Structure 1
């Protein structure tokens, strides 16, 4: 009979592969988080710059994130013919 204390070579290889896979997954998740944070920061800075240049709100008047998002989207698209006021 074989001893349960000594790992078989295949078991050792599988453990190494699993650890490598976990490291790759962890590294990928960290990279994704960094990209998301960078994108969020860039978008926030762009929206803030846009609202400062736009002058559509009074100085010191707070504006929600959603309102800024809508303004940014409208500025990029321009007014479509369907959405223009009559």
Structure 2
């Protein structure tokens, strides 16, 4: 729980074609890009998404920084 990075109780972590990684809020189905590939898909208009910063929380141990997304990116990559 101390490494949880989001202001939602749960997120889905799909891996899309091309290794595009997203976090999805299961209650709203809004998706948030987790890596550069996903961000490029959003910029290219291939999919719609909100910035990950919308649901990413501040790191209480490091003021001014957000919680690390690395553990979630790692888990999502295992689904590719």
TM-score range for the pair, normalised by the shorter chain length? under 0.3
Give the TM-score normalised by the residue count of structure 2.
Answer: 0.22
Higher helix share: 1
Give the TM-score normalised by the residue count of structure 1.
Answer: 0.21
- The structure whose RCO (Cα within 8 Å, separation 6+) is larger is 2
